Structures are given as C-alpha cells and as structure tokens.
Amino acid sequence: MTRPEVPAERKSLVYQPSGGPVSGVDLPAELRLRDPGHCCCCGSPERQEDGARKDFSSRLATGPTFQHFLKSASAPQEKLSSEVEDPPPYLMMDELLGRERKVYLETYGCQMNVNDTEIAWSILQKSGYLRTSNLQEADVILLVTCSIREKAEQTIWNRLHQLKALKTRRPRSRVPLRIGILGCMAERLKEEILNREKMVDVLAGPDAYRDLPRLLAVAESGQQAANVLLSLDETYADVMPVQTSPSATSAFVSIMRGCDNMCSYCIVPFTRGRERSRPVASILEEVKKLSEQGLKEVTLLGQNVNSFRDNSEVQFNNAVSTNLSRGFATNYKAKQGGLRFAHLLDQVSRVDPEMRIRFTSPHPKDFPDEVLQLIHERDNICKQIHLPAQSGSSRVLEAMRRGYSREAYVELVHHIKESIPGVSLSSDFIAGFCGETEEDHVQTVSLLREVQYNMGFLFAYSMRQKTRAYHRLKDDVPEEVKLRRLEELITVFREEATKANQMSVGCTQLVLVEGLSKRSATDLCGRNDGNLKVIFPDADMEDVNNPGLRVRAQPGDYVLVKITSASSQTLRGHVLCRTTLKDSSANC
C-alpha cells in the first residue's frame, strides 16, 4: 500500500491586524480581523469595562513578541496539571480567568465530542467559569461540532443563525455574548467560519482546548480568536473530564486520539490529526477514580481504540509486537513497540471486577488473538464488538482504502464468533460510495444477511473536501439512489437484527440498570452485556447476597432478567433477582 497523505499538521495562518496572512509556521493562530476599539457584534464603541479593555487592547496591539511564539512553538504540548503556567506576555493572569461568566456547552456528533465537551468544561471550570444549562443565562456559548457528513455541518450553520439573533437581541446592560465553535468543524473550516459568520468570536480545534481561557480572554476585547493547531502528542491525559450527569452508571474514558488510517472517504484524520495514545498509567488512574465514585461501566474511547500504542516510556519499545488480523493491511508504515491494546484491556479489567468494560470504536485490522482471548475469558469485559465493515464489496473496500477484502472480513467474523461464543456484533456501513454499482450494493446486503449484526449504524455517503475520494474519485451515485440503497440496508439490517436478538428469548441475562424507561413510568431500563437495551417491569425481587431481603432495582444495580421478547433494537423481560457481576449466572 502507498503511504497516506499527511494531514496539514502544525500549520496555521496568523493574521496581523492589517489582515494579511503571515506564514505557515507553527504559531498560535490568532485571527485579528476586527478593530480592537469597537464592539465585535455591533461595531459601537465599548461600554462598562472600557478602560480595562482599552488597556488590554493596547497591550494586545503591542502584542506577543516573536520570541514568545517561538517559545510556545517549541515547548512540549503536554503540561502537568500542577505546573503553574505563565500567561502569554500580552495578557494579565486575571484576564485569563472566567470571572464567573456563564458557559453554555452544546454537543453535536459522536461520543468523542461528548468527551471533548467534558474536557473543555474541565479546563474552563478551573479557570473560573460557571456552567449553565439555560441558554438565556449564558455569557459564552460553545458548540462542540462534527464534520463527518455534510448534514452534521448544516445543523451547526442553522444553529449559528439562531444564536446570531440571540446575540443581537442581547440587552446592552449585559456583557456581550461570546460564541465559540469547537472541535472538528473549527478544524476543517478554520477562518472560513470567522469570515462567513462574523458573530463567531472563538474557534478552537480538537487539540486546542487548553487554550480556551486565552482565546476567550482575547474575545473579551471584541476580537476574534482562533487556535486550530493539531498536535502530535496532546491527549489531555492530565485533564479529568467532568461528568455531567451525576447519577450516571457509566462513563467514557478517552484512551487515544486521532487516526492514521486515511480511509478515502473520511475527514477525521484531517480534523483530529495523527494517532496518539494516552499513557496507560493515567488511564488506569482515571478508571480507578471512576470505580471509587461507584460507576459500574467504563467505555474506552478513541477513533481507533484497538490501535492503542503507549510509547510514553523508552522501555515500552521493547514490548513484544502484535500482529494485525489475518488478511488485513494498513495504509501506513508498520509501527513498532509500545504497550498495546491487549495490555491496556487486561489492566483496566483488573481495576474493579464489578465494573463492565467496553470499547469503541475499533478498526477490524487490530484484533489479534490475545485481544479476543481476553474478551472471552474476562467476566467483566463485555462480549460485544463493533466491527465497522463499511461495504460488503471488495471492489468498494479497495476504493475506500480499508485495507481488507470482503473475504478477510468474513473470515475475521467467523474467527471472532468461534473465539467468543455468544459475541454481539455491530457495524457501520456507507451506502452509495463513489463508483458503487448495484452489484456492489447487493454484496453489502448479503454481508448484512451473512453476519446478522445485533446493532448497526448506516449512512448515505457524503463527499468531504480534502479527502482522497474528493481528490481522486467521483461522487457519481445519485442522491436518490444513495437514499434508496440506504433504506434497503436499514430494512435488511432490522430483519437480521430482530432474528439475532430473538435468539435471546428464554435466556437469563445480566442487566446493568440505568433507570426508568423513557416510555413507561412502571418499567425500568438497562443494558445487557451486548449493549442492547432491556426493558422490564419495576418489581421487587430477591437480593442473592441477602437471602430473604426483597429489594427494588436502583440505577447501577446488576439484575438478572429473563428475556421474553425481542425487536431489532430492544429486549423485554421480567426481573429475577439482584446480583453482582461476579456471582451472576446469566445463561446466554
């Protein structure tokens, strides 16, 4: 395979007050497009904090020195939380503080973005910001955005138009509302967002959340501020994400960021940068804390979780290398050494035997036998694997640069099913990729039938600029054909998932209780080992560890449920007893 295109990393443009881009060197991308003496939204001279802001603006105008930029460009990105950081020379320490301004965070897209929201909030909270869930109350609105498909971005543009009205209507007696775009869309579109939507004050790419206090401080003066640098090593290892729902039974723990795979349709390597893993020790520390807080489930999170490779210490480079799944190849040069996913999974699953471990999203190429063996033998590692196929046609898979054929994928599925009896499988598929013929589509339908996934995530292809497919292939499947094929995939997936889920009827399954069912106040809802939703009446039951005691299930309890019916998305049953993960005697 040829080497991948390398994402434009550590390159950014710095705009001078005069407006012209300076260079493509590694400098903080502060986009100064406004006259600092005027309000950013209405252009009127400033009110209230005029004096302080003028002083601030004049310091900004004299600005950071070139030496300062050089220093920050060469400094390692990761800092220990205990280290006290000097403010940039053009900002006073107190200007970096939130001064109890209220932040409203809105998350779009995948679970990585939910985790990023928690990281961004953790950083802002430490800086003295308050959080609000009331949009009207907010002084700062931050949207954590997604670029994976055109539709995801359109949703953000629409939202920005609504927020513009909010900003314009804001009474002059309040501090001006600041609006920020965080995450993938900030990274993909960069200054285009600032130019197109003048009401956006702050842009922060996925590796720039530590810079949010500074960016917001710059925005306070009425200037737009942006940092869209991608990093080779930022994993936010020392930033403990702030869980937003205190009653939650489960949490996501980010273990790696970025992606090196360069599938030809995918924007992720360009928005989230190169693959890098968080040190094992810091992951274990976070999992231990979550266990002490009483959480019962942890999902290890990353763009390619099972490509995990901790190279943070020299001695890890002697670790035995692990193989790719049989018949799979990478688009990049083989990487050596480091602590791999099997090691991490082993360590994480030992932290708390009552804590369920899941992981998402993996790539099928990184399922060596040691990972499968571990999933099979460890009670608290869920027997559930997401195995994104994307297509059932070898021809399309090659155009997608997935690094495997249909045959290799099917062989892996059989191997997984043999190694982990009762495993639950899910997948992602794209309908209508460049050049996909009716025959290719039929092959995808047949793969859905052959594997019989329990869960599926199906999408119509959406051409993304910058990707290899955008440059080299033609988006030639008409929209209505893409949608028709997508509908067919959904129908077949549902039929097969219903069949697969019906195999559970009559079985007793271990369910982690989440709380009341959304549809009925007399039912509870939880998840089985395969991550499928299980609904059952809220009834009293025996507690196996306290014979004779009758209890009602609470969120975070493990209960045994006898399954009585199944659909493509849900199981139903009745509860038998409260138990523990170790003592459970689930029979399928």
Residues that bind ligand SF4 (CB under 6 A): 259, 261-263, 266, 268-269, 303-304, 363
- Shortest reach from residue 333's CB to ligand 5AD, in Å: 23
- Residue among 53 and 149 whose Cβ is closer to ligand 5AD: 149
Q: What count of other Cβ atoms lies within 10 Å of the Cβ of residue 323?
A: 12
- Residue among 303 and 528 whose Cβ is closer to ligand SF4: 303
Helices (H) and strands (E) in the chain, counts: 16, 23
CA distance 109 to 558: 30
CA distance 77 to 208: 10
Q: What is the CA radius of gyration of the chain?
A: 25
464 binds, among ligand 5AD, ligand SF4, none (CB under 5 to 8 A by kind): ligand 5AD
259 binds, among ligand 5AD, ligand SF4, none (CB under 5 to 8 A by kind): ligand SF4
- Shortest reach from residue 491's CB to ligand SF4, in Å: 24
- Shortest reach from residue 486's CB to ligand SF4, in Å: 17
Tokens matching residue 567: 């659909």
CA distance 202 to 197: 11
CA distance 31 to 34: 9
- Shortest reach from residue 332's CB to ligand SF4, in Å: 11
462 binds, among ligand 5AD, ligand SF4, none (CB under 5 to 8 A by kind): ligand 5AD
What's the Cα-to-Cα distance from 54 to each of 38, 41, 46, 373, rounded to whole Å?
Answer: 10, 17, 9, 64
Which residues, 6+ apart, have CB-to-CB distance to 471 below 8 Å? none
517 binds, among ligand SF4, ligand 5AD, none (CB under 5 to 8 A by kind): none
CA distance 195 to 200: 9
- Residue among 90 and 328 whose Cβ is closer to ligand 5AD: 328
302 binds, among ligand 5AD, ligand SF4, none (CB under 5 to 8 A by kind): none
- Residue among 110 and 344 whose Cβ is closer to ligand 5AD: 110
- Residue among 241 and 302 whose Cβ is closer to ligand SF4: 302
- Contact residues for ligand 5AD (CB under 6 A)? 148-149, 265-266, 388, 390, 428, 430, 459, 461-462, 464
CA distance 162 to 246: 30
Q: What is the largest CA-CA distance in the chain?
A: 79
Look up tokens 């054909």; give the residue: 481
Burial class (CB in 10 A: 0-12, 13-18, 19+), 291: middle
Which of 290, 322, 319, 356 lies closest to 582, judged by CA? 356
Name the DSSP class of 316. Answer: G
- Residue among 221 and 304 whose Cβ is closer to ligand 5AD: 304
Name the DSSP class of 244. Answer: S
Q: Helix 406-419 to helix 438-451 angle, to the nearest 10 degrees?
A: 10
- Residue among 383 and 464 whose Cβ is closer to ligand SF4: 464
- Shortest reach from residue 404's CB to ligand SF4, in Å: 12
Phi and psi at 315, nearest 5°, equal: -65, -20
Helix (H, G, I), strand (E, B) or coil at 44: coil
Helix (H, G, I), strand (E, B) or coil at 235: coil
- Shortest reach from residue 402's CB to ligand SF4, in Å: 7
- Residue among 123 and 262 whose Cβ is closer to ligand SF4: 262
Alpha-carbon torsion, ordered 259, 264, 266, 270, to 10 deg: 60
CA distance 174 to 164: 16
- Shortest reach from residue 371's CB to ligand SF4, in Å: 17
- Shortest reach from residue 470's CB to ligand 5AD, in Å: 9
- Shortest reach from residue 584's CB to ligand SF4, in Å: 34
- Shortest reach from residue 481's CB to ligand SF4, in Å: 22
Kindly tell me the sign of the dihedral angle through the C-alpha atoms of 433, 436, 439, 440.
negative
- Shortest reach from residue 460's CB to ligand 5AD, in Å: 7
- Shortest reach from residue 469's CB to ligand SF4, in Å: 11
- Residue among 90 and 461 whose Cβ is closer to ligand 5AD: 461
Tokens matching residue 172: 């002059």
Name the DSSP class of 574. Answer: E
- Residue among 179 and 184 whose Cβ is closer to ligand 5AD: 184
- Residue among 408 and 534 whose Cβ is closer to ligand SF4: 408
461 binds, among ligand SF4, ligand 5AD, none (CB under 5 to 8 A by kind): ligand 5AD
Phi and psi at 181, nearest 5°, equal: -110, 120
363 binds, among ligand 5AD, ligand SF4, none (CB under 5 to 8 A by kind): ligand SF4
Burial class (CB in 10 A: 0-12, 13-18, 19+), 76: exposed
- Shortest reach from residue 563's CB to ligand SF4, in Å: 33
- Residue among 201 and 366 whose Cβ is closer to ligand SF4: 366
- Residue among 104 and 409 whose Cβ is closer to ligand SF4: 409
Helix (H, G, I), strand (E, B) or coil at 449: helix
Which residues, 6+ apart, have CB-to-CB distance to 247 below 8 Å? 515, 555
Phi and psi at 357, nearest 5°, equal: -115, 130
148 binds, among ligand SF4, ligand 5AD, none (CB under 5 to 8 A by kind): ligand 5AD
149 binds, among ligand 5AD, ligand SF4, none (CB under 5 to 8 A by kind): ligand 5AD
